[in-house]
Amino acid sequence: MKRLITLSVLAGLLVLTAKAQSADNNALRKLGIAEMAISALYVDTVNEDRLVEDAIRGMLEKLDPHSTYTDAKETKEMNEPLNGSFEGIGVQFNMVEDTLVVIQPVSNGPSEKVGILAGDRIVAVADTAIAGVKMSKEEIMKRLRGPKGTVARLKVVRMGIADTLKFNVVRDKIPVHSIDATYMIRPGIGYIRISNFSATTYQEFLESMTKLYAQGMQDLVLDLQGNGGGYLQAAADLAGEFLNRGDLIVYTNGRTTGRRNYRATQEGSFRQGRVVVLVDEYTASAAEIVTGAIQDQDRGQVVGRRTFGKGLVQRPIDLPDGSMIRLTIAHYYTPSGRCIQKPYEKGNKKSYSEDVVNRLKNGELTSRDSIHFADSLKFQTLREHRTVYGGGGIMPDHFVPLDTARYTKFHRELAAKSVIIQQNLRFVDKNRKQLKKKYPTFDKFKELFDVPQDFIDMVVSEGEKQNIKPKDEEELQRTMPELKLQLKALVARDLWDMSEYYAIINERSDIVNRALELLQP
């Protein structure tokens, strides 16, 4: 019997090998034979799906740093922020120790509609306890999310109410916003901060601009610090709002794809007011497209530090099981002809990932004098013929060094161990009603609220419990200004939203303040 099975396996392998040999591509034939041999003859049982996935990952790892493979689950999770929505109950939450505390229900979302409030504690979902059981945040999210139309049966504990409350929340599409903040940072000057470029970013941007116009905006600060990119079309549409019809925004070029130009398809709605774009070493991809277009077309000024330099175009290739290959097919070029992509060595992702650290070591992030460009990297802007530089990323017109001394070691450790976040949640949870009563508007809060000493003492005391202590009294005192600013901003976020957070935190941002100097009359 064993001999018959072996002969059968070998016969099948020969048939498959013969089929592979009929292909024109020797490399493909070789790969097919290897997979079939392993699955048919290897000493132990193998998972053929995993075998194929490992082969795909292995091939892509030898290419550029941005060609990747994701399985079906990873692909779904990766696409949710870019698609602009997910399906769930619609709450912003955080974990205080092992209990889920609602920060804010999503406006007009399913939880708000049934009466769930900020400060509520969700302790059970479908009769399964999620509080006091050391359940991971990922597992809790899995229980709260679900297909639109399904019901999440929640048990909620509310301060001041003795009984546990029960809510049936009908899950729905929950919008994921890519614009973090929109507000008037100074009279006549609007501020918009964009976290990524998703399917909804352009529409969100238009809504933000309408809001700012109504408040008297004449000039704009566009904050793209830390923006990792996203959809090319969203970036092109947004950049077009600052340009004239037909202006070149970006072009792509690849071995098999040829050159493709992306131009403004209509007259932009904001072509007159001044624009300052804020960038840093983590501004990448689609955000670099917007920055490069505004700079090369002499439409605005760029402030900050050289951007990341992610200028490779990926084409998504959907596979039958829901997995995806994102394969690099071209490079991005700014209107003046600068390649956005920084240099890289194929297959050496470690060196590529350490680039920002190396920039810090080399002094590029802290001193403009450490930045040198070869003459071959000089380009000219299209209207005013100013010199701009290629070589990867977008070099700003106005360099702002990274302040490495701003945060003390004590402050960084408190933040890294989540002490600041956790104590802020406790403070707001305990004082929410009093704070809202005392500061009914954000303007009043911004003007009058001072972080109380007992709040500071809570943070310092919790740090001591986790063996986080200042080196001496001098370090403690140097920590205080930034710690108080951060705590005030976090309280504002939890009482209102992210716009209010940035309205406080930006007041001591060197990059933001340099932009405001440029926009002075």
The set of catalytic residues is 285, 296, 310
**Would you give the distance in Å from CA 251 to the centre of its chain?**
24
Other beta carbons less than 10 A from residue 400's beta carbon: 20
Cβ-contact 289, 302 below 8 angstroms:
no
User: Quick one: which of 428, 431, 420, 490 has its CA closest to 456?
Assistant: 420
Residue type, 306: R
What are the residues facing 192 on neighbouring strands?
Answer: 182, 222
Strand partners, 132: none
DSSP string over 292-323: HHHHHTTSSEEEES------EEEEEEE-TTS-
Angle (deg, nearest 10), helices 498-505 and 473-495: 150
**For residues 379 and 338, is the Cβ–Cβ distance under 8 A?**
yes
Strands, DSSP E only, in 381-479? 387-389, 398-399
Q: Could you tell me which residues come within 8 angstroms of residue 373 by beta carbon, excluding any fewer than 6 positions away? A: 389, 391, 395
Whether residue 158 contacts residue 119, with contact meaning beta carbons closer than 8 Å, is answered with yes
At residue 133, what is the residue type? Answer: V
Pairwise CA distance, residues 470 & 424, whole Å: 20
How many Å apart are CA 454 and CA 391, to the nearest integer? 51
- 293 phi, psi to nearest 5 deg: -65, -45
- Cα(21)–Cα(303) distance, integer angstroms: 58
Count of Cβ atoms closer than 10 Å to residue 120 Cβ = 23
